[in-house]
Amino acid sequence: MKSSINLVFKKPKLYVLENREYSIVLNTETGKRVLLNNKEITLFRNTPFLKEINDDNDCVKLIFEQDSDLSRLIFKMLKKHVIHLWSAKHKNYIDFDAECAAKHPPTDVFITFGDECNLSCVYCYRDAGLCEKNDKPRDYDLQRLKELIEKVQLMGASTVTFTGGEPMLHSHIFLLGEYAKKLGLRTCMLTNGTLISEDNAYMFACFDVVKISLDSIYPHINDMTRGAGTTEKILHGIRLLKRVGVYVTIESVLTKINYKTIGDTIKSLYLNEKVDNYRASHFIPTGRGSLNFTLSIPEEEIAECNKYVFNEVFGGFGNRPFKDFVKDATIENGMQSTCGAGICELLITLTGDVYPCRSLQSEEYFLGNIFQETLDEIKSKKSFSDIRRALNVEDNTECGECPLKYLCAGGCRAAHAAMSGDLRKNNKTWCKLLKNMKHESIWLGEGVHPYTGEKLTI
């Protein structure tokens, strides 16, 4: 006769994803998860304490036989920290409260050269461009800009990214890249790629990563959003950089007019242009983009778009081991109550004005000036706390009981605000998109293809 085990568990809050072969049980308070087969998920669903419990107790008791299928399931879930004994202590989501925020150095600092740009992309998140054909970007004192880089380094940042507008319109860009690298910072540049030439390609060696915007290899698609003739200029720039050994990442903005060409774009970029990385992000209607909202992918096409893009991106990374995907998904599936704007990420203008992130760069989100105040002084302000609170899902009643709220952390609040008019208000279409993407990363984190259900070999 088998002996029985009597255990008391903390009542779990669990969320289940299923496909034909496997299921994932996720603890929505801790982010821990376990992959179950069909037999295990059937047993899971028939286990009393895992069903919905309507009483007010915060703990549940379960009696089960030792060395049984149920006992093996229970101990598997305990080992993965998906469930916890009543006395067990466990860490929940990461909450950037005021004390934590004050101590947390930014990992990524964006330095913007302003809104001057040689292009006028129809969905620009700012409203960048040149007002007049002969306009020239304003020059800034090089020594003053070096002081700005020094302040970024003293903050404890690991990466500095030069952005705009178009950084290459500014005469000091390469000198600043070299100086930042000399100070030990990881250096990146965001560029549209059209100004790369035989004469300057070698100068990009001061950047660890150069991120170039390209929405499609097909000119009739890419030129619709970025401007006539841009596609060939961008591809030429990519080839020049790869010729001198620069690490190139291509970034695409997904819209309803280009997402079905992403597969061909990825294959061409890897096979023909030998780029090092590729990323795609959904269009957010801010800046000039707010005037072109119709570029957004319709709600009824979101699931189709995400599935298509996932399969094409996944299949296109021929030079990147699958284990890197799993690593990325595991990192992405960390629990937190808010995005990192103002904490992990900051944006600083050439005059020293500080904002929470690239997408929250307007007067209402102004935090202070790094030439006039220290970062600690900026973080101690009420305005900083107010913005951080507005970004927190704990204070967002619309996130409410959503089981994934600590995984998506409310998503990009700037995106929500662009579509709802308020940082604290959610846009249902954006929520649907986030949920779909989180499901993908949860499956991938367990080594399972999110659409085919295939167990992938790491």
Q: Determine what percent of the chain is predicted with pLDDT higher than 70.
A: 86
Query: Of the candidates 84, 46, 88, 96, which has an alpha carbon nearest to the alpha carbon of residue 68?
Result: 46
pTM, rounded to two decimals? 0.87
Pairing, β 108-112 against β 345-349:
parallel
Token pair, residue 371, equals 């030439």
Hey, what amino acid is at 229? G
Residue 185: φ, ψ to 5°: -85, 145
Q: What average pLDDT does the structure give for the chain?
A: 86
Residue 282's DSSP bridge partners are 254
Instruction: Using DSSP bridges, classify how beta strands 368-369 and 353-355 pair: parallel, antiparallel or unpaired.
Output: antiparallel
User: Structure tokens of 187?
Assistant: 């250096």
181, containing H or E segment: helix 173-182
Q: How far apart are CA 456 and CA 323, in angstroms?
A: 10
Residue 382 CB: number of other CB atoms within 10 A? 7
Q: Tokens standing for 282?
A: 């959904």
> What's the pLDDT at 25?
94
83: how many CB neighbours lie within 10 A of its CB? 28
Residue owning tokens 């954006």: 430
Dig out the tokens for 47 from the structure.
Answer: 């286990």
Token duo for residue 128: 């960048």
Asked if 172 contacts 194 with a C-beta cutoff of 8 angstroms, the reply is no
Return the pLDDT at 323: 47
| Burial (CB count <10 Å: 0-12, 13-18, 19+), residue 57 | exposed
Q: Which amino acid is at 222?
A: N
CA 144 to CA 352: how far, in whole Å?
Answer: 10
- Bridge-based pairing of strands 59-65 and 108-112 is unpaired
Instruction: Please tell me the predicted confidence (pLDDT) of residue 319.
Output: 43
User: Shortest CA distance to 36 belongs to which of 80, 91, 66?
Assistant: 80
The pair of structure tokens assigned to 302 is 């979101």
Q: Which two tokens stand for residue 183?
A: 């100070």
Residues of the chain where predicted confidence (pLDDT) is lower than 50:
52-54, 93, 96, 98, 133-134, 318-323, 325
In order, the DSSP letters of 301-358 are GHHHHHHHHHHHHHHH-TTS-HHHHHHHHHHHT--BSB--BTTTEEEEETT-EEESST
The count of C-alpha atoms lying within 13 angstroms of the C-alpha of 396, restricted to the half-sphere facing its C-beta, is 29
- C-alpha distances in Å from residue 148, one per residue of 132, 175, 290, 340: 29, 13, 32, 22
Residue 251 bridge partners (DSSP): 213, 279
Residue 363: DSSP 8-state: G
Distance of alpha carbon 78 from alpha carbon 30, whole angstroms = 13
Phi first, then psi, for residue 455 (nearest 5°) are: -80, 120
pLDDT digit string (tens) for 82-109?
988 876 555 554 554 545 555 678 899 9
- Give the per-residue pLDDT at 54: 42
Q: How many Å apart are CA 260 and CA 216, to the nearest integer?
A: 10
Tell how many helices (H) and how many strands (E) occur in the chain: 15, 14
